Copies of this chain bind each other. A is one copy, B any other.
Amino acid sequence: MIPFTYYSPTRFIFGNGSVCKVGQQAKAYGATNVLVVYGSFHAERSGLLKKVVDSLALEGIKVLTLGGVKANPVDSLVYKGVQVCKENHIDFILALGGGSVIDTAKGIAMGALDDGELWDFYSRKRMPQKALPVAVVLTIPAAGSEGSGNSVLTQESTLLKRSATGECIRPRFSILDPELTFSLPLYQTACGIVDMMAHIFERYFTKVTSVDLTDEMCEGVLRSIIKAGSTIRDYWNNPNSVEMKEARASLMWAGTVAHVDILGVGREGDWSVHALEHEMSALYDVAHGAGLAITYPHWMRYQMKFKQERFDQLAERVFGVKDGMEGIQKLSDFWTSLGMPTRLSQIPGFKESDIFVMAKKAKRNRPGELGNFHPLNDDQVVEVYRSMI
């Protein structure tokens, strides 16, 4: 184990119907003038947005709303939100949605208290020191942003997808109401499953030794996600079954556990697959989870040549097979059974020449080799991308 500081002060409020507590919670955290950030019109049509706004209003909290966040969120909407905050003396940001909405809300929260160039925080020129308080009502278990101090945005002008990090953007509280996920389409559910598993893999693939405790926890959570995901797939036509509802609940908490870093302490993660995928979803606007489903098995097969032992352990403990390569295949088969793609050629608009564009961008602002587990040089990055075609 390597030295670490673990600090996770977010208050997680979990349970069916817990969305109704959002007003009391926001008030308890001192909110008086809230901007609710959300994504699709689903929030409006389903009545969820109204339920949240009413709960806030009931506590005498003033509310403005900002919709329109899309998957792979861009900086332009953040600038719009920052302007709304500054013009209306907003003192609290509530994200109502999944990772894209939460990351947009975090960007707005930083920009609202900053007079410099917001992108500096994403290009790592500056570290954010202050932000408006952010809270979350989660609707998609996937990104783990409800418990993290990170925000990932794409800069529209460059199509660079980058992340900003700071304690000040860690959500004050996050409401995890499994009922809000009962109507989530299979494709989005699957993308979330891949995303949360990827967050564990990024931590699992480390060159740090003596990490048995966190290995055991990572492997246990992976097994549980696979069980819940399989149940959701198998009970798809019984959305009201106890099995389905319990699997949805388990998956919702798993997504938070996967990224709150209790699985990553004392070890150095790899994170190269996220770097490879970010450029993919920035270029094609493919869902992050779908991009990860393409990238991970190919990255694993490539890395297996260099570090077989870790893949054999994963295969045996998580997939119940002895051989690492067989384990990788079982992982890929599981994701395929949920409707996830396996190759770049399945992405509309993909051209082989784009590989060099993505490889160049994945390496930009990252000196040296990519990743920590078994770092990739420029040629190897291209080789891994090529294996995904």
Contact = CB atoms under 8 A, between A and B. Distances in A.
Report copies per complex.
2
A185 interface: no
Contacts of A216: 220-221, 223-224
A227 B210 CA distance: 11
A15 B265 CA distance: 11
A7 interface: yes
Interface residues of A, number: 40
A254 interface: yes
B3 A14 contact: yes
A250 B220 contact: no
A213 B257 contact: yes
Given A11-B5, A221-B216, A253 B228 contact: no
Interface in A1-26: 1-16, 18
Contacts of A254: 213
Contact of A250 (B5, B15, B212): B212
Given A216-B220, A223-B216, A246 B14 contact: no
Question: Which residue, A3, A11, A227, has most C-beta atoms of chain B within 10 A?
Answer: A3
A224 B215 CA distance: 9
A250 B213 contact: yes
Contact of A15 (B2, B12, B217): B2
Interface string A124-167: 00000000000000000000000000000000000000000000
Contacts of A249: 1, 210, 266
Interface string A217-251: 10111011001100000000000001000100110
Given A213-B254, A253-B265, 9 more contacts: A1-B14, A1-B246, A3-B15, A5-B11, A5-B14, A213-B228, A216-B221, A216-B223, A253-B266
